[in-house]
Amino acid sequence: MNKGIVYAISAYGIWGLLPVYLKWLHTVPAMQVISHRILWSCLLLGGVILLTRQWTAFHATALTPRILRTYAIAAMLIAINWLTYVWAVDAGRIVEVSLGYFINPIISVVMGVIFLGERLRPWQWLPVGMVVIGVLYLTVSYGALPWLALIQAFSFGTYGLIKKTAPLGALYGLTLETGILLLPALGWLLYADAVGNGAFLHSRVSMDMLLVAAGPVTAIPLLLFAAATRRIPLTLIGILQYIAPSLQFLLGVLVYREPFSTAQLIGYGIVWTALIIFAIEGLHAHRTQSVATVIDF
């Protein structure tokens, strides 16, 4: 099997099973979980840069005012995304938050049209419209917007938009983002410890190990994803990315027994149908373009 496919499946598999890890940390407040995620990710990624003797290159390319401004926005968005996700898992709303990752590709396409001047192919408008209908249906059936899903979709979609035009690779970019968030994260952990709410070193050793593991749990799938995107087409990445929300959804319904009503099934069904159409259209367009390229050659 192509290494890129293995890397992509591994990355999305880890993200899909992330609720299991977060459930083990359910006694730790969400802000502390996120702070540990930032702290240990930053230390791990910084260590990789030091061990591979890339610090000089990292300092020269990353630590400039323009790049710092760009990645400060990216850091804020990914922090919002992580915090919302951790809170949702702890609150027993894995199913709802998985919807955000199902609709995220459509959000990314729309952002490309609005902000990057990209153009939708005719058949791409259909799934975009269906996702809007699905979200509106869920809003009516809930009596409120599925705000957790929308925060996840828009925060990660905007994060992806910024990263698409940002100059740094995955390792340097994530190191800089976690570095920007490091002081606030450390400040929060010290505050929690000072008021007697700190979890680290105040509970079981296994809990401390789980908190330290937040570093590799965060960094490894992101690095695997970056490696995958260099080896396989984005159209294949686009299909494989549904592994993560599908696993999350199944965990929420089958393992953690979250409620899933008929109304939700209809709303999610509209979104899933839209994604099937979106994936098929993307594959067809990719094959057509490949054939045209071969003929032109």
Domain count, the chain: 1
Q: Does the pLDDT of residue 172 top 50, yes or no?
A: yes
Which has more confidence, 227 or 7?
Answer: 7
Nearest CA among 101, 98, 78, 80 for reference residue 89? 98
From 125-134, 144-153, 284-293, the region with the lowest mean pLDDT: 284-293
Q: Does the pLDDT of residue 281 top 70, yes or no?
A: yes
Q: What is the mean pLDDT of residues 50-66?
A: 92
Q: What is the mean pLDDT of residues 155-174?
A: 86
pLDDT tier at 18 (50, 70, 90 boundaries)?
very high
pLDDT for 297 equals 43
Q: What is the Cα–Cα distance from 226 to 234, expressed in whole angstroms?
A: 11
Q: Does the pLDDT of residue 87 top 70, yes or no?
A: yes
pTM score > 0.75 for this model?
yes
From 171-185, 231-245, 268-282, the region with the lowest mean pLDDT: 231-245
User: For residue 286, what are the contacts with CB-CB under 8 A and spacing of at least 6?
Assistant: 233, 235
pLDDT for 203 equals 83
The CB density around residue 254, as the number of other CB atoms within 10 Å, is 10
From 4-8, 52-56, 178-182, the region with the lowest mean pLDDT: 4-8
Overall size of the chain counted in residues: 297
pLDDT tier at 40 (50, 70, 90 boundaries)?
very high
Contact 32, 184 (CB under 8 A): no
pLDDT for 294 equals 47
Amino acid (1-letter code) at residue 133: I
pLDDT for 190 equals 96
Q: What is the mean pLDDT of residues 254-266?
A: 92
Specify the DSSP class assigned to residue 123: G
Amino acid (1-letter code) at residue 256: Y
From 123-127, 135-139, 192-196, 289-293, the region with the lowest mean pLDDT: 289-293
Q: What is the Cα–Cα distance from 152 to 131, expressed in whole angstroms?
A: 15
- Percent of the chain as helix, strand, coil, to the nearest 5: 80, 0, 20
For residue 60, CA distances in Å to 52, 54, 72, 92 come to: 16, 10, 17, 44
Nearest CA among 265, 247, 246 for reference residue 134? 265
Q: What is the mean pLDDT of residues 206-235?
A: 85
Residue-averaged pLDDT of the chain: 88
pLDDT for 241 equals 82
Q: Give residue 83's domain range.
A: 3-296
Nearest CA among 170, 193, 178 for reference residue 44? 178
